[in-house]
Amino acid sequence: MVRIRKLHTRIIFAFSVLLSMVLIVELAVVNSVVSQSANEAIERNLLAGERLFNSIREDNIKRLSQSAGILTSDFAFIKATATGDHNTIVSVLLNHGGRINADMAMLVAPDNRVIADTLRKSVNDQAFPFPELIKRAELKGQTTSIVTLDGKLYQLIVVPVMAPLPVAWLALGFVIDDKFARNLKGVTGLDVSFLTPITGSDRLNVLATTLNADRAADLSSDVNKVSETVGATTKVLKLSSEEYLARIDHLKIDDGTEAITVLQQSLDIALAPLFHLRWILTGLGFFALIATLVAGYQIARNISKPLVDLSQAAQDIEAGHYYTQTTVIARDDEVGQLATAFQNMSKGIASREDKISELAYRDRLTGLANRTLFSISINDRINKITSLGNDKASANSSDFPFAILLIDIDRFKEVNDILGHHIGDLLLQEIAQRLQVVVAQSDAMVARLGGDEFGILTKAVDQTVSMALSQAILAALDKPILLEGHQLIASGSIGIVHFPTDGNDINALLRHAELAMYTAKRNNSGSARYDTSLESASQQNLSLMAELKQAIEHNELQLYYQPKVDLHSNTISEVEALIRWIHPKRGVIPPDQFIPFAESTGFIAAITEWVIARALEQRAVWQTQGFPLSISVNISARDLLNAKLPGNFAQLMETHNASTDWLSLEITESAIMTDPEAAMQVLNQLRENGLAMSIDDFGTGYSSLAYLKKLPVTELKIDKSFITEMENNPDDAIIVRSTIDLGHNMGLRVIAEGVENQATWDALVAMGCDSIQGYFVSRPLAAEKLMTWLQHSQWKFKEKPQSYRLTGKENVITSAST
């Protein structure tokens, strides 16, 4: 006998033998239990199928009895029987038998002669084949039986036809054939067969079955061996090399023989789950055996590992790498004590090293990496990739390439100024925790670079992954933060750069990330990826801010006007003023490129005054020309929050001797929601002075119905993003219809912008919209071109009633139209 010398080998062998024995016993027990359970389940199915078959037979008897009773009580049928009207008798038998799907119907004369037979059609004075049934019917009033006729089984009932004495006998029956067997199988899930003895043979004749021909032949032989058994019995039959568990019973046939019913279910099919279970258990056993070998090897290795670890620990301490020393498993002996001493010494040194490193490279408030460590990590990553040269195959996928996300917290200064630096510090700590949770799965570095600025250094990611990461960060920041009773929301702006496409050194990467971050902040887009166009755009924007102040002095700004059509009168009485900057070198500059700068620098007030003055001047000109169109202008959030603007607006109206119907204001939802309380005070002053106002771009902002019902507005303007797609998008059509109904229910007019075709026009008319504007009517036009267009347009001018003029004490406000 070979002696196993190594301890870990003996452990593995012992585990394997023990597990193999357990698995063998388990397989044997499971096989026995499942086999027994399967046989018991099949027997229950067979008994249930037998009960169901007997129930069906009883139901058939009831149906035959009820049908026969109805037919023999029918006066016309009795009369036809008494008079021998053969055609009527056959017709009645066919029709009545068809109603209950009877397979045979016979009318038999008192002398046992068949008068009519729906089964064999031509009777030729044949004798009724079952005279014993008529004799029993004479004694009992009616009788039922299972009979064989023309090689088929029938369930038959015989009843007298009384007039008032018996003038004939009616026989109705259902056939028991393959179709009947298949229907029974469909209900019970069991194979069904019906057999009768063959005279002079040791085989049985299969009259009906759900089995195929080969199995039916084997069945007739096997069942004959147990056909002499009295009563029902359960046997195992082997049909075409497949074993069945069968329930065999006997049906008494009228001619003295017996029909045998067999309900059977395949044992192979029933036991198939056992075979599947065997394979599963075998696979699990093999897996467990492998796991045992691995576990045994690991246990054996761990038993002898402390000495090896002590040797490695000593070498590490000798080399000065204290904090990289491998952990040693403690034991209750001298080796364990020595190992513990090594561990404690290594932990003490590592702890002191970590504290030193933390002071140098960690932000004390948040515990994140600081700017120094962040910069070092970026440079290390760049140097490592650069040292690889062009050999990308040797580059570690976790280092090449990488992305930097620069995050600036919006309005953080307001938190410090209003709530104090203590709340500001708590907010920074909460933000740091949320950033770490977001990047936990991506194994990225999070750093606080200073103040409210954070940085994230990722491993290898593409642009799609970095953008998805930025969206996850924005979503995490957007969740409310509760700090000592103050609920805050820390929104942010994120700039994204990738190495090496967006910069080859740390300075370029951080500068470009900051440029992308400010672009995201300016566009209110949440995040932005660096693009080379941002460099030139940034330089252009710096000069644009200086040139914007000169634009008014040099008459570079112009107002264009887009007409609005009143759908009720099909006329035009109002236009919207839209500002354009015609730059002498850059051409037409869209409002969305210079209005944000004007708002951020405060120059929007000058543009607002210019827009109102030009609109009032143009309105005075149209007054003299006989086209007193009302002009609507847009108002910005910054203007709306200026409490002095109502007085400034009133002064402009007085200077131009204007009445309140000359102008109306369009206010965006977002402008109101910047500071709802302050905005509401300004709007109420404007409304008290008779100035009409509308909600612009309704449905795209953040206002609620609670504020909408308080706003002193007379009109809702549905944003064009819903109008342009409503023809092809049912959801947009529903939104438009709902908005129109909402506005009307609140007593407001509703106008739709962005109408570009006749189909949209017709849909809005059907929805009850009040007014529309868009390219389908006209593009924005200069004032002189608008007059020419209006004179030739299909929509004529409709003058509004004159309103009172404002005095100098009345307060009105407006802003640059965009």
**Long-range contact list for 52-60, CB < 8 A, 24+ apart?**
52/184, 52/187, 52/188, 53/184, 53/188, 53/192, 53/261, 53/263, 56/184, 57/155, 60/155, 60/174
Binned at pLDDT 50, 70 and 90, residue 318 comes out as low
pLDDT score of 815: 35
CA distance 818 to 799: 26
Most confident of 155-159, 236-240, 530-534: 155-159
How far apart, in Å, are the Cα atoms of 243 and each of 25, 239, 764, 767?
27, 6, 75, 74
pLDDT score of 317: 61
Residue type, 632: S
Decide if pLDDT at 289 tops 60: yes
Q: Show the domains of the chain with their CATH numbers.
A: 46-270 (3.30.450.20), 272-360 (no CATH), 362-530 (3.30.70.270), 558-797 (3.20.20.450)
**Tens of pLDDT along 9-20?**
666 677 777 777
| Helix, strand, or coil (residue 734) | helix
Predicted TM-score (pTM) of the model is 0.44
What does the longest C-alpha to C-alpha distance in the chain come to?
A: 129
pLDDT score of 519: 84
Burial class (CB within 10 angstroms; exposed 0-12, middle 13-18, buried 19+) of 791? exposed
Residue 349 tokens, joined: 């040194």
- The residue among 533 and 736 whose pLDDT is bigger is 736
Decide if pLDDT at 812 tops 50: no
pLDDT score of 156: 85
Helix (H) or strand (E) holding 315: helix 272-319
Binned at pLDDT 50, 70 and 90, residue 673 comes out as low
Average of pLDDT values for 602-629?
89
pLDDT score of 543: 66
**Tens of pLDDT along 162-180?**
877 888 888 888 888 888 8
Query: Residues in the chain, how many?
Result: 818
Q: What percent of the chain has pLDDT over 90?
A: 21
pLDDT score of 802: 47
Residue type, 572: I
Binned at pLDDT 50, 70 and 90, residue 302 comes out as low
pLDDT score of 433: 94
Average of pLDDT values for 77-95?
79
Q: Give the β-pairing of 242-252 and 233-239.
A: antiparallel
Average of pLDDT values for 183-212?
79
**Tens of pLDDT along 683-741?**
888 788 778 888 887 766 544 566 677 788 899 999 888 999 898 889 899 999 999 99
Q: Which of 556, 518, 509, 510 is nearest to 537 (CA)?
A: 518
**Tens of pLDDT along 433-479?**
999 999 988 779 999 998 899 999 998 788 888 899 999 999 999 88
pLDDT score of 706: 62
Residue type, 263: L
Binned at pLDDT 50, 70 and 90, residue 274 comes out as low
pLDDT score of 397: 52
Binned at pLDDT 50, 70 and 90, residue 145 comes out as confident
Q: Which of 763, 761, 737 is nearest to 750 (CA)?
A: 737
Cβ(324)–Cβ(296) below 8 Å: no
Cβ(456)–Cβ(407) below 8 Å: yes
**Tens of pLDDT along 562-574?**
999 999 999 998 9
pLDDT score of 609: 84
The angle that helices 421-439 and 412-419 make with each other, rounded to 10 degrees, is 140
Burial class (CB within 10 angstroms; exposed 0-12, middle 13-18, buried 19+) of 374? buried
Average of pLDDT values for 91-100?
80
Binned at pLDDT 50, 70 and 90, residue 651 comes out as confident
- The residue among 698 and 256 whose pLDDT is bigger is 698
Average of pLDDT values for 311-321?
66
**By mean pLDDT, which of 68-77, 105-114, 333-342, 484-493 is the weakest?**
333-342
pLDDT score of 558: 92
Decide if pLDDT at 810 tops 60: no
Q: Which of 177, 183, 187, 133 is nearest to 153 (CA)?
A: 177
- The residue among 32 and 451 whose pLDDT is bigger is 451
How far apart, in Å, are the Cα atoms of 455 and each of 232, 504, 505, 519?
85, 18, 16, 17
CA distance 25 to 582: 93
**Tens of pLDDT along 734-791?**
999 999 999 999 899 999 999 999 999 999 999 999 999 999 999 999 999 999 999 8
Q: Which of 30, 8, 58 is nearest to 285 (CA)?
A: 30
Average of pLDDT values for 98-111?
82
| Helix, strand, or coil (residue 636) | coil
pLDDT score of 264: 80
**Tens of pLDDT along 537-557?**
565 666 677 788 788 888 889
Decide if pLDDT at 818 tops 70: no
CA distance 417 to 412: 9
**By mean pLDDT, which of 499-503, 548-552, 617-621, 798-802 is the weakest?**
798-802
- What does pLDDT average to over the chain? 79
